[in-house]
């Protein structure tokens, strides 16, 4: 079971690294937009000096959804200060896991508390509605906030949410959106506070007099146990011999 889980993590690691390209092709054919999308459009991008939103979607139902099942408002705060409550990372969101029903409409208010760029980037949505890579993205270039919505397909799936500024994902800005029961394989790996990393750091080991004592006592105990077993077996053997004689 544990090995299976670990293998899933590795698979997800690879998936995560290649930023989820493979599944796109499969979902592409399965889900059709309600109305035709102009693919020459620039990824439905709204941009100004303070940030941008890519592929905001308030009304296009993915195939499989007859209506919006629920409307969920989430407020996501991003910045260095949210990493203070955690060890070993530099940037993160105030919350790193959200759960919604299939066909939900998610209204995200994304607040950036830093003086640099951060993103709420979600992958693996149907590329027909979220062209060209199946990506929804809110980007705020400094202190400030922005609200946008997207609608998730009618499917149990766990979506990767992250900030793709170089090395921000690796430094803690990684989260998941669990739709319905989520992925069969379970949670995504290395989400701070949610799941352990696949490739963990090595920290220095500090031996105290207590740890030495415990190790030595344990060694002594095992020797004593060995001797006891040996004597026990010997006695048993001589007893048996005595009986047969």
Partner 1 sequence: MKNLFYILAILGVAAGIYYLATHLSGSPTEPPPATLPIVTSTAEESGLIKRYCAGEKLVKLRAAQVVDGVEINKSRVCRPDLPAQVAAFVKGTNQVAHQTLMKTNLALDSVVKSDDLDGDGDPDVIHIKLEVAELNGSTPDSSQVTPSFYVAPGIRPGLWAFAPKTRGMATKTSMTTEANDTLRLPSPAIRIEEGDTIKITLENTHYFPHTIHFHGVDHPFVAEDGTGNDGVPFASEKAVLPGDSHTYTFKPRRSGTDFYHCHVQTDKHLMMGLQGLFIVEENHPDNWLQTLNVGDGQVRHPSVAVKQKYDAEYDLHYQSVDRELGEIIQASHDPRLIAEQMNRNYDMTDATEDYFLLNGHSFPMTLIDSLVIVEPDQKLKFHMLNGQPSPVAIHFHGHKATITDYDGVNVPATNRITRDVFNIAPAQRIDLELSTTNDGLNSYGSGIWLFHDHSEKAITTDGISPGGNINMMAYSDYVGNDGVPKTRGMDLNIFFDPAYYEGKVPVWGSMGIPELLGQAATVTPSIKQLLLLGLLIGLLCLLLAGLIANLRTRRKS
Q: Residue 42, interface with partner 1 (CB under 8 A)?
A: yes
Instruction: Please tell me whether residue 92 binds partner 1 under the rule CB under 8 A.
Output: no
Q: Which of 31, 65, 135, 177: binder of partner 1 (CB under 8 A)?
A: 135
37 contacts partner 1 (rule: CB under 8 A): no
Residue whose CB is less far from partner 1, 15 or 151? 15
By CB under 8 A, which span of 49-57, 62-70, 146-154, 213-221 interacts with partner 1? 49-57
Question: With respect to partner 1, which residue has the nearer C-beta, 42 or 234?
Answer: 42
201: contact with partner 1 by CB under 8 A: yes
Report angle CA 12, 14, 15 to the nearest 5 degrees. 60
- What is the size of the binding site for partner 1 (CB under 8 A)? 55
Tokens 């919006």 locate to 68
Is position 19 an interface residue for partner 1 (rule: CB under 8 A)?
yes
Is residue 68 a contact residue for partner 1 (CB under 8 A)?
A: no
- Contact with partner 1 (CB under 8 A): which of 77, 97, 109, 142? 142
Is 3 a binding residue for partner 1 by CB under 8 A? The answer is no
Considering only 203, 242, 244, 245, the residue that binds partner 1 (CB under 8 A) is: 203
Among residues 31, 53, 54, 177, the one that binds partner 1 under rule CB under 8 A: 54
Name which of 4, 18, 10 is nearest 190 in CA terms.
Answer: 10
User: Could you say whether residue 177 binds partner 1 (CB under 8 A)?
Assistant: no
| 3-state SS track over the chain | CHHHHHHHHHHHHHHHHCCCHHHHHHHHHHCCCCCCCCCCCCCCEEEECCEEEECCCCCCCCCCCCCCCCEEEEEEEEEHHHHCCCCCCCCEECCCEEEECCCCEEEEEEEECCCCCEEEEECCCCCCCCCCCCCEEEEECCCEEEEEEEECCCCCEEEEEECCCCCCCCCCCEEEEEECCCCCCCCCCCCCCCCCCCCCCCCCCCCCHHHHHHHHHHHHHHHHHHHHHHHHHHHHHHHHHHHHC
Q: How far is the CB of 115 from partner 1 (least distance, A)?
A: 4
Q: Least distance from C-beta 238 to partner 1, angstroms?
A: 26
In DSSP terms, which residues pair with 161 in a beta bridge? 122, 175
* Residue 157 binds to partner 1 (criterion: CB under 8 A): no
**98-127: which residues touch partner 1 (CB under 8 A)?**
114-117, 121, 123
Return d(Cα 108, Cα 138) in angstroms, integer: 9
Binding site for partner 1 (CB under 8 A): 10, 12-14, 16-21, 24, 42, 45, 47-49, 52, 54, 79-80, 87-91, 114-117, 121, 123, 133-135, 137, 139, 141-142, 164-171, 189-190, 197-203
């Amino acid at each position: 079971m544990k090995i299976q889980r670990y293998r899933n993590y590795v698979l997800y690691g690879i998936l995560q690294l290649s930023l989820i390209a493979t599944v796109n092709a499969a979902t592409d054919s399965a889900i059709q937009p309600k109305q035709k999308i102009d693919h020459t459009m620039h990824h439905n991008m709204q941009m100004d000096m303070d940030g941008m939103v890519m592929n905001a979607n308030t009304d296009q139902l993915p195939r499989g959804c007859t209506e919006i099942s629920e409307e969920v408002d989430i407020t996501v705060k991003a910045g260095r200060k949210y990493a203070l409550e955690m060890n070993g990372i530099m940037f993160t969101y105030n919350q790193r896991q959200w759960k919604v029903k299939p066909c939900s409409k998610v209204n995200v208010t994304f607040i950036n508390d830093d003086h640099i760029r951060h993103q709420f980037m979600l992958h693996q949505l149907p590329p027909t509605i979220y062209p060209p890579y199946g990506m929804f993205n809110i980007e705020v270039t400094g202190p400030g906030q922005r609200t946008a919505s997207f609608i998730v397909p009618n499917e149990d799936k766990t979506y990767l949410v992250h900030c793709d500024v170089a090395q921000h994902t690796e430094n803690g800005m990684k989260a998941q959106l669990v739709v319905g029961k989520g992925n069969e394989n379970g949670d995504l790996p290395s989400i701070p506070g949610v799941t352990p990393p696949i490739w963990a750091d090595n920290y220095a080991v500090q031996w105290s007099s207590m740890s030495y004592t415990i190790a030595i006592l344990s060694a002594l105990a095992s020797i004593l146990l060995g001797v006891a077993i040996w004597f026990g077996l010997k006695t048993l053997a001589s007893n048996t011999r005595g009986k047969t004689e």
